[in-house]
Amino acid sequence: MEKVSVIIPVYNEEHYIEQCVRSVMNQTYRNLEILIIEDGSEDRSLDICKELSRCDKRIRLIEQANAGVSEARNRGLDIAEGEYVFFLDADDAIPQFLIEKFICQARRQHAEIIMCNCRKENNFQMKQLEREAAKEEGDSWIVGCGEQSEEWFHLRYQEEMSNIGGKMFDIKSIGELRFDKNLSYGEDTLFMYFMACKHVKTAYCRQSWYYYRMRADSATHSEDMMKREQYFECSRTIRDKEYEKNKTQYALVWERMLIHQMIKSFSRLKRSGDKEGSQSIKNQAVIERTYPLFQKIGRDMKALYFTCFFCYPLYVPCRIVLSIIQEILDDLWKMRQRPVKIFL
């Protein structure tokens, strides 16, 4: 029976870590190694983790000085003893059947990545999960392999494959690949990008089995990250690598993503009154106009770009108008796809 190493980085998660770890302890699949990487927390997280480790011999508690989530995940990969690794964030949780479902697909499909959708919950809803018995829903899987893994990552399932939480990997497929500790945002997206470039076989279920916690303090945290120079580095890196490989279609996806992230970040910091932060992003956005693919991002994105950075009062009306136009086009497209009824 294959062992699964569950890697849980922990930093100041005293309010959430117990629910997270117990959701792993309660898995129907029992051959687990629960790696808790305690990343120098300043609250009671370490004490709670120590108490949990005394309840279950499968838990290995690793303590380290604060080095960030990437270093914590890398530490877990370095010491993992399982044939598979499963990534779980310390404020999230999983239903008791999830890992068993994933293992069944890994065996059946010989898949190297097994993944599902996430279900976004607030703190109250996450507490309710503890009182409710997890219901095992019917599942339907699709499998992609070879170059299809790149198409999935860049186009078809970009959102689903942009994060690491709730994904299980054959550890051999990871090899020497590790998370980039220099990134403050998007380190998991970049990791998934390099995995997709390996043309790994992926099994994907559309069921929302990964419980992702939406936290009230995440907005402030996001604004702090936006002001760091590395915030847009993930999108830039993927764009540049695809452009160098002459895969313009994929490179353009990430050029649009980069401009979208800059617009969104600038607007948020502008609304919060952070002049220095918004000006820093505007300076970066001006430089991006010199990139060869900028002229191909489309009229809609260009309209948002110029109104946001050079005529901000027009940005919100422009965004609303473009949104309405897109809805109309979507409705027209749906109508064209409907079969025509002929009445005799």
Same domain, 237 and 151: no
8 A C-beta contact, residue 121 and residue 23: no
Q: Please tell me the predicted confidence (pLDDT) of residue 131.
A: 62
pLDDT under 70: residue ranges of the chain: 130-137, 218-221, 337-344
> 84 in a domain, yes or no?
yes
Q: Please tell me the predicted confidence (pLDDT) of residue 13.
A: 96
Same domain, 9 and 145: yes
The residue among 165, 191, 213 that closes a domain is 213
Q: Please tell me the predicted confidence (pLDDT) of residue 325.
A: 87
Q: Please tell me the predicted confidence (pLDDT) of residue 216.
A: 76
Q: Please tell me the predicted confidence (pLDDT) of residue 136.
A: 63
* Chain-centroid distance, C-alpha 230: 17
* DSSP state letter for 1: -
**Beta strands, E only, 100-140:** 113-121
Same domain, 201 and 229: no
> 48 in a domain, yes or no?
yes
Q: Please tell me the predicted confidence (pLDDT) of residue 341.
A: 47
Reference 50, options 21, 23, 75, 71; nearest CA is 21
Q: Please tell me the predicted confidence (pLDDT) of residue 220.
A: 58
Q: Please tell me the predicted confidence (pLDDT) of residue 162.
A: 94
- Domain count along the chain: 2
Range of the domain at 148: 4-213
Q: Please tell me the predicted confidence (pLDDT) of residue 235.
A: 96
What pTM does this model have?
Answer: 0.91
Q: What is the pLDDT of residues 253-288, one digit of tens each?
A: 999 999 999 999 999 999 999 999 999 999 999 999
Q: Please tell me the predicted confidence (pLDDT) of residue 219.
A: 55
Q: What is the pLDDT of residues 89-132, one digit of tens each?
A: 999 999 999 999 999 999 999 999 999 999 998 888 888 876 66
> 309 in a domain, yes or no?
yes
First CA to last CA distance, the chain: 63
> 342 in a domain, yes or no?
no
The residue among 196, 213, 230 that closes a domain is 213
Q: Please tell me the predicted confidence (pLDDT) of residue 342.
A: 43
Q: Please tell me the predicted confidence (pLDDT) of residue 60.
A: 98
> 79 in a domain, yes or no?
yes
The residue among 165, 194, 213 that closes a domain is 213
Give DSSP secondary structure letters for 282-326.
HHHHHHHTTSTTGGGS-HHHHHHHHHHHH-GGGHHHHHHHHHHHH
Same domain, 270 and 202: no
